[in-house]
Amino acid sequence: MATSTSGWTERGAGTRAIAEAEKPAPLDAAAVRRDFPILDQAVDGRPLVYLDNAASSQKPRQVVDAIGMYYLRDHANVHRGVHELARRATEAYESARERVAIWLNAAGPHELIWTRGASEALNLVAFSLGMARVGQGDEIVISEMEHHSNLVPWQLLAERNGATLRYVGLTDNGHLDLDHMATLLGRRTRIVSLPHVSNALGTINPVRDIAALVREHSGAVYILDGAQAAPHLPVDVQALGCDFYAFSGHKMCGPTGIGGLWGRRPLLEEMPPYQGGGEMIEHVYPDRSTWAEVPHKFEAGTPNIAGAVGLGAAVDYLDNVGLAAIHEHESALTRRAITLLAGVEGLRILGPAETEERAGVVPFVMEGVSAQDVATILDTQGIAVRAGHHCAQLVVDRYGVAATTRASFYLYNTLEEVDRLAEGVKTARRILYG
């Protein structure tokens, strides 16, 4: 199906501008919770408190229903058939792309490539654009704040092409050290790839200011890992000043196995395909092939159609609640969590200070005890958190700890749940300190 782009930018930009200008009405978490039946259950006799949202969010009924209805009514393969179901499936798949592209304020749906998630999106840029643009002696700038999905692909690329990885250091408060960053940028810098929000610290990075820094000091392509930002903050990819933006559906109320890579069209046009197969070609000859238009050039094989439909429904859901309201709500939960946890003796919270803005991620360590033990004791009280390095090994190394226990919030969490967390941590402390 050809997706119409006429009037597209105005529509997308207008919606976002209005949403940002208004002060959001407070979020009604009790009403939101009714859309998430999974939350209404007991674990070990205690009401479940789900605080592992940075790993994966829960799904509202509306998303599950959209996927169910798609399979029960409309499923066929896309872009291939002339029959009614093929038409409907293609329409559902491409309108989900348009929906999510508008949500990101892309210049058009062709700028959004469906991927399995943020990891695949980042691998796609590294092995398509990176292989073509990064050579011997070139430099790639990332940071000590990276999730491994925005680190290992660049390591692999650097090894293969003889490039050097440079790491932006972190301040004691969990921020990117921008003075250090300025010293790393130069004429050999081909790629700068950074997280919009840190999954291990909760830091919201000043990505617009960084865009200006990158442009001032280098001609690098600027990539943002938005896995922890897109679910929680209004994202306008054009205003951010980046060239690529990667995200995962399952962290933003959508299903697993779907996510996306937004990219500027001229760069996407320039990039070679990432994988070969059906649907990504224009013509195949015995000795060569020519490629389909973007974004299809990057979508080999039968795609995750139901996943795209579910992600479109998730974006509808988040837009209905309002991203600005979600962010305000999470900020209130985070402030309360930091205040309560800071009062627990021997407990250290990583990341920006209580008074600073940060995303709803609160990693902490209890002196002398293992982060896993704390998480296990919390689990016995029905509280789900994650413990470990959170696939961000350089972060825990930087702050001299082996692992952290991490609570992460989303739109359905409540202040009462934060209180349960704080009580649970105090109980863990009593048990572990004996």
Cα dihedral 43, 49, 54, 60 sign: positive
- Beta carbon of residue 207, minimum distance to ligand C6P (angstroms, whole number): 13
331 neighbors 314 (Cβ within 8 angstroms): no
Nearer to ligand C6P, 117 or 382 (CB): 117
Which residues 6+ apart lie within 8 Å of 237 measured at CB? 104, 105, 106, 245, 262
User: Which residues sit at the interface with ligand C6P, rule CB under 6 A?
Assistant: 54-55, 117-119, 147, 149-150, 195, 199, 225, 227-228, 248, 386, 390-391
391 is catalytic: yes
Active-site hit among 1, 55, 391, 432: 391
Nearer to ligand C6P, 232 or 390 (CB): 390
- Beta carbon of residue 198, minimum distance to ligand C6P (angstroms, whole number): 7
Measured between alpha carbons, how far is 404 from 366 in angstroms, rounded to an integer? 8
For residue 112, the surrounding DSSP H or E stretch is strand 112-115
Burial of 342 (0-12, 13-18, 19+ CB in 10 A): middle
- Beta carbon of residue 182, minimum distance to ligand C6P (angstroms, whole number): 23
Measured between alpha carbons, how far is 123 from 350 in angstroms, rounded to an integer? 29
373 neighbors 427 (Cβ within 8 angstroms): no
- Beta carbon of residue 245, minimum distance to ligand C6P (angstroms, whole number): 12
- Beta carbon of residue 357, minimum distance to ligand C6P (angstroms, whole number): 18
Nearer to ligand C6P, 108 or 363 (CB): 363
The 10 Å Cβ neighbour count of residue 320 is 11
Nearer to ligand C6P, 31 or 402 (CB): 402
Kindly state the tokens that stand for 63.
Answer: 């998303």
324 neighbors 298 (Cβ within 8 angstroms): no
Nearer to ligand C6P, 150 or 161 (CB): 150
Which residues are annotated as catalytic? 391
